[in-house]
A and B are shown apart, each in its own frame.
Chain A
Amino acid sequence: MRSLWLQVAAVTSINLKSIAQRRWLSLSTVIAIALVVIVLLAFLAMANGFQRTIAGSGANDIAIVLRAGSQAEINSTVSRDQVRLIEDGPGIARGSDGKPLISPELYLVVDGIKRSTKTKANLPLRGIGEQGSELRKGITITSGRMFSRGSNEVVVGKALLRQFEGFDIGSTVAFGATRWNVVGVFDAGGSVFESEIWADLNVVQSLFNRNNIVQTVRARLTGPAALSELKSYSDNDPRLKLDVKSEAAYFAEQASQTSDLIQKLGWPLAIAMALGAVAGALNTMYSSVASRATEIATLRAIGFGGFPAFVGTLAESLLLAAIGGLLGAAATYLIFDGVTASTLGGNFTQVVFDFKLSPWLIAEGVVLALIVGLIGGLFPALRAARLPIVEGLYAN
């Protein structure tokens, strides 16, 4: 047994040392595999980044109330009377002054200019109630100040500021005939709110002629379990009949559509490319076996078994694949990780997000590379193991 492993080690080391003789063919296999991994990981990092931005935005102890069937904030309408009924609803936490912690909100789409393309893009202008920013975790004003109630001032999320023109502090932005002063920039811990513009609900209502209407109501619950109380309260009152969801559930739905789509694009493309890379790897490894035919036959003639030849060839293929996989992962990390992009989200407005690789995704990429190496090495390895000695000795 020990001698078998010594043989395996010897043949494997010969195999690996011979890679240099086929450096161009081997290099092309490594790069082909690296490109497969880059394509896969770039898509997965995009889906992951989008998912994290949106799904990370919601809290379990915040309820969001929307018109039944509306699915997204942009479609929803909630009347002033309904807002009052929700205020009196069960399970809603109250502040030290006894007031319910809720924020009726208007969600409007306004035009902004994307820095990279100079084209118009849909941006969300959110009119928030007094408690609006307290109902979201980790909101901090990073520069400037919060808008003051009753004035035509806005604060903008820092992701929005990075991607779209004209929202620097001190500037005035026009939405149609209305003028707004940008007075602050806020950080929202990387959540989707960083892609938004916030203003006072009452001012947005009056300047956009939506006086008796809001779109959604956010409410802090006494605890996550209070959600069902509020839900049945809404279901049982014919004046309400609204959709009550936890904010976390709402954003999870919003995130899954787009990020599923991105993954559904990425995997088939990467698998198709992987098949091409398998063909390349098979080619390289068959060449490797062919060029070492004499050597393999000589080893067999002096008593080496077929198994070491098999392992040696497979090891060479797996090594090339592993190098390709790691190279691809490293390249994806250097090129794409942290790259900021934006696309239309479920609310028909731009969501700014960063491509985000994770160790788990890198593992998926390296596994795909190793599968390519395994398939690409297996058949040539079998040929190496079965090579008739006499034929091999006269191969060249």
Chain B
Amino acid sequence: MNDFDLVRKNLFRRKLRASLMIVSILIAFMIFGVLAGFYRAFTLGEDRAAADRMITVNKINFTQPMPIAYFNRVKAVEGVRQVTFANWFGGYYQDPKNFVMALAIEPSTYFDVYRSEFDVPPEQLQAFVRDRSSALVGEKLAQKWGWKIGDRIPVQSNIFSQKSGGHTWDLTIAGIVKGKVEHVDTNFLLFQYAYFDETRSFGKDTIGWMILQTTSPENNDRVAKAIDAMFANSTAETSTDTEKAFGQAFVAQFGNIALIVLLVVGAAFVTILMIVGNTMALSIRERTREIGVLKTLGFSGPRILAMVLGESVLLALLGGIPGLAIAALIATALRASLTNVAPAFAVSPTIALQGLALMIALGLITGIIPALNAMRLKIATALGRG
């Protein structure tokens, strides 16, 4: 029997007690895994934002329009490699409750700016550019409604009206857009701005926002200043920011999600620290005599210390690893329904590693005091007690 067997047998000497502690640790790590996974997915956009991409919006607020003439003027700014624009459509399908993230876009530049995110077969893109009343649909949205290339889809807007009076635009699906990387949400529909602009009843010649790519991230500041200075004191002043800063400010609008996650995970960990810490102390106290015997048999103090710590770390791992595994299952199960907020909801390798580090830390913290006591225990006291 080696030391590890001894540790394992000690831990499961009281099977019920060990199982209960494993359950409480499991739950804490499950909460950690789910919340950390959610938070990561929720803020992934900002981490993965392209460093050379910037967003220009109306300075009043990003929901306010600006003239389409800005598009060509921004294109001419030195340091701008490519620029495109989009307009929010406020789309829904069949019922206002079935929100569709629909944008009217500039077809020849949009997929150039987003070329590292979106994948459209060239012939589908060509078909889209050719047919003014066509649309490209993200893979996820197409799956959701079972749409195929060639389908004619009536998309309604909760904001815009057709000049003819209706709220419905009939669009033919010209292609399906796939995401190139994990965090890309393909739950969208894109159609031609030119068609949208000439059919809508108000707001003509205005656009929602521009997305531009600079020749290099070092030029970002200069480009932003040049653009905003160009439109200063006009009726539509602009505000240009990196995609990352824009994304961060937007996420912050929902509230301090990071703080909420931290508090909940903190509460879960304080709970297990106390429960496991006290129980470990109790278990070791109950075994005082045995530790005395082990010492009599020649087990050194440090070896005893290592064995007690090993026991508490083993306990933390036995609860923590299945806890993270369950969190991963939960994330997979919930991903579909959270696709709008957190498309890449998952327990990532980084989170798993952080979790592992937390397990070891938890094991060491809960075990250290009983372990030190056991190490320092004098044989005479130990055998004399009880």
Q: Which residues of A contact B (CB under 8 A)?
A: 24-25, 27-29, 31-32, 35-36, 38-39, 42, 67-72, 74-75, 77, 108-111, 114, 116-117, 119-122, 175-177, 208-209, 213, 269, 272-273, 275-277, 279-280, 282-283, 286-287, 341-344, 348, 350, 396
Contact B23 A39 (CB under 8 A): no
The 7 A-B residue pairs with the shortest CB-CB distance in the complex, in nearest-first order = A28-B274, A276-B27, A280-B275, A176-B60, A279-B24, A276-B24, A279-B20
Q: Mark B91-118, 1 if CB is under 8 A from A, else 0.
A: 0100010000000000000000000000
Q: How far is the CA of A156 from the CA of B327 in the complex (A)?
A: 45
Q: How far is the CA of A90 from the CA of B85 in the complex (A)?
A: 45
Q: How far is the CA of A379 from the CA of B255 in the complex (A)?
A: 43
Please pick, from A25, A77, A120, A344, the residue contacting B159 in the complex, using a CB distance under 8 A. A77
Q: Which residues of B contact A (CB under 8 A)?
A: 16-17, 20-21, 23-24, 27-28, 30-31, 58-61, 63-64, 90, 92, 96, 156, 158-159, 161, 167, 202, 233-237, 248-249, 252-256, 263-264, 267-268, 270-272, 274-275, 277-279, 281-282, 386
Q: Which residues of A contact B21 (CB under 8 A)?
A: 279, 283
Q: How far is the CA of A69 from the CA of B277 in the complex (A)?
A: 57
User: Nearest chain B CB to A116's CB is how many angstroms away?
Assistant: 8
Q: Which residues of A contact B256 (CB under 8 A)?
A: 116-117
Q: How far is the CA of A10 from the CA of B30 in the complex (A)?
A: 42
Contact A176 B59 (CB under 8 A): yes
Q: Which residues of A contact B267 (CB under 8 A)?
A: 35, 38-39, 273
Q: Which residues of A contact B64 (CB under 8 A)?
A: 108-110, 176, 208
Contact B252 A119 (CB under 8 A): yes
**Given A35-B271, A38-B267, A77-B202: A176 and B236 interface contact (C-beta under 8 Å):** yes
* Interface CB pairs A-B, < 8 A, 8: A25-B278, A69-B92, A75-B159, A111-B61, A121-B252, A276-B24, A286-B17, A342-B255
Q: How many A-B residue pairs have CB under 8 A?
A: 148
Q: How far is the CA of A63 from the CA of B30 in the complex (A)?
A: 47
- What residue in chain B is nearest A243 (Cβ atoms)? B96
Q: Is the interface of A mostly helix, strand, loop or mixed?
A: mixed
Given A35-B270, A276-B27, 20 more A-B residue pairs with CB atoms under 8 Å apart are: A28-B277, A31-B271, A71-B158, A77-B161, A111-B60, A119-B253, A175-B61, A176-B59, A176-B60, A176-B237, A209-B235, A272-B27, A276-B272, A277-B271, A279-B20, A280-B24, A283-B17, A341-B255, A344-B253, A344-B254
- What residue in chain B is nearest A30 (Cβ atoms)? B274
Q: Which residues of B contact A350 (CB under 8 A)?
A: 253
Q: Which residues of A contact B275 (CB under 8 A)?
A: 28-29, 32, 276, 279-280, 283
- What residue in chain B is nearest A341 (Cβ atoms)? B255
**Given A31-B271, A209-B235: A114 and B16 interface contact (C-beta under 8 Å):** no
Contact B235 A177 (CB under 8 A): yes
**Given A109-B61, A286-B17: A25 and B279 interface contact (C-beta under 8 Å):** yes
User: Nearest chain B CB to A320's CB is how many angstroms away?
Assistant: 13
Q: How far is the CA of A32 from the CA of B267 in the complex (A)?
A: 8
Q: Which residues of A contact B271 (CB under 8 A)?
A: 31-32, 35-36, 273, 276-277, 280
Q: Which residues of A contact B159 (CB under 8 A)?
A: 70, 75, 77
Q: How far is the CA of A294 from the CA of B271 in the complex (A)?
A: 30
Q: Which residues of A contact B17 (CB under 8 A)?
A: 283, 286
Q: How far is the CA of A75 from the CA of B270 in the complex (A)?
A: 45
Q: Which residues of B contact A272 (CB under 8 A)?
A: 27, 30-31
Indicate the member of A25, A36, A279, A282 with the most B CB atoms within 10 Å: A279
Q: How far is the CA of A325 from the CA of B275 in the complex (A)?
A: 17
User: Nearest chain A CB to B384's CB is how many angstroms away?
Assistant: 16
Q: How far is the CA of A280 from the CA of B20 in the complex (A)?
A: 7
- What residue in chain B is nearest A261 (Cβ atoms)? B341
Contact A122 B61 (CB under 8 A): yes
- What residue in chain A is nearest B59 (Cβ atoms)? A176
Q: How far is the CA of A116 from the CA of B206 in the complex (A)?
A: 34
Q: How far is the CA of A341 from the CA of B260 in the complex (A)?
A: 12
Q: Which residues of A contact B237 (CB under 8 A)?
A: 176-177
